[in-house]
Structure 1
């Protein structure tokens, strides 16, 4: 298929997202990506500089899209708790493969400053978009929480991506207990809710 330069880059990126997400970095070749995109293998080098940079770009592109989908799906949440649960459940459910791919990209990019900058830029975009969405959500719903939109967004992504890094390093999968733990942490961080057993006291009891 004949592409102009912009079309070839877009097609390669889309094919890479699907293949890397579904099969992992080590199980995908440049030739397979090019074939799926209807392009030539040397176009991967031309547009991205090789397989690893393409992987970093693909993972970053995918996580931003998945974050937007999670935000869209939770727009109608009735409470802050339901909103947090909806975001976490989507990201650790349908979005789990994308989060794992992005976690692996974060680990890989740390070795190369130019690739690390892609991750830095992606993080900034996640935080900025999330903060705007949270501010809009608070204005629209009238919810009152303890933390600011920026603090909530940063805490959310630190928790979710930290969990994704742990799972990627261990070769483990997300489960319902992970979603429960992250949701509970976010709710307590943002609302200050404490159960009776969590209420601080002036002294310890024997």
Structure 2
């Protein structure tokens, strides 16, 4: 049986994470303070420290949640695609369009983790979930459309996210926004992979 105090702690932690996610997506990392996050739920800055340890750790965890949600929304947008090319384009358009702030947020957290080892488990956990969920969704999509691949769904999924996150890291480092040319480059790379490996079952 769950103890009331423990459940209240989980609820507070979840509320802080949601509040932080909204603020980080809207304002970016630097302007957001722990006081501002706590204020969103009527709490205190020390609650952020208690539940997450630091603003960096909260940012890393919130960014993982953000990109997982963006990935889910992209898959929902692409569910009725009638070709593998259309499916890839819709996924990319969603992730680099409505989902761009979430993708960029995760890219920034990845850059942080390069010099802050404590953030790496959170980033790795989010990447593992992205790959696992993406692979499962790809298998379901292939089955539904009767598409066949000659390589593993894992390889296709990893190639997709490597392309999207590689572009996001580039933009995070340069401060540039996504533009059509970059999105098209990602789409073409995926289509070239698909042309090599994916065929319609007759």
Q: Is TM-score (shorter-chain normalized) higher than 0.5?
A: yes
Aligned equivalent of 2:89? 85
Post-superposition shift, 1:129?
0.5
2:62 paired with 1:58: yes
2:44 paired with 1:40: yes
1:133-180 CA distance string (max 9 Å, x none): 001111111123443211110000000000000000000100111111
Aligned equivalent of 2:3? none
* Residue pairs, 1:19-30, within 5 angstroms: 19-30=23-34
Aligned equivalent of 2:21? 17
Aligned equivalent of 1:7? 11
Checking the alignment, whether the CA contact within 8 Å between 1:147 and 1:189 is kept in structure 2 is no
Query: In 2, distance between residues paired with 1:129 and 1:114?
Result: 24
SS at match of 2:40: helix
SS at match of 1:110: helix
Aligned length: 191
Change (3 A) 1:191 1:148: farther
2:79 paired with 1:75: yes
2:157 paired with 1:153: yes
Query: In 2, distance between residues paired with 1:7 and 1:120?
Result: 24
* Residue pairs, 1:103-118, within 5 angstroms: 103-118=107-122
Query: In 2, distance between residues paired with 1:138 and 1:121?
Result: 26
Aligned equivalent of 1:174? 178
The RMSD of aligned alpha carbons is 1.4
Tell me, which stretches of 5 or more residues in structure 1 are unaligned? 194-206
SS at match of 2:80: coil
Tell me, which stretches of 5 or more residues in structure 2 are unaligned? 1-6, 198-202
Post-superposition shift, 1:192?
2.2
Checking the alignment, whether the CA contact within 8 Å between 1:17 and 1:59 is kept in structure 2 is yes
Post-superposition shift, 1:28?
0.7
TM-score normalised by structure 1 residue count: 0.89
SS at match of 2:177: coil
Checking the alignment, whether the CA contact within 8 Å between 1:146 and 1:191 is kept in structure 2 is no
TM-score normalised by structure 2 residue count: 0.91
Query: In 2, distance between residues paired with 1:110 and 1:180?
Result: 28
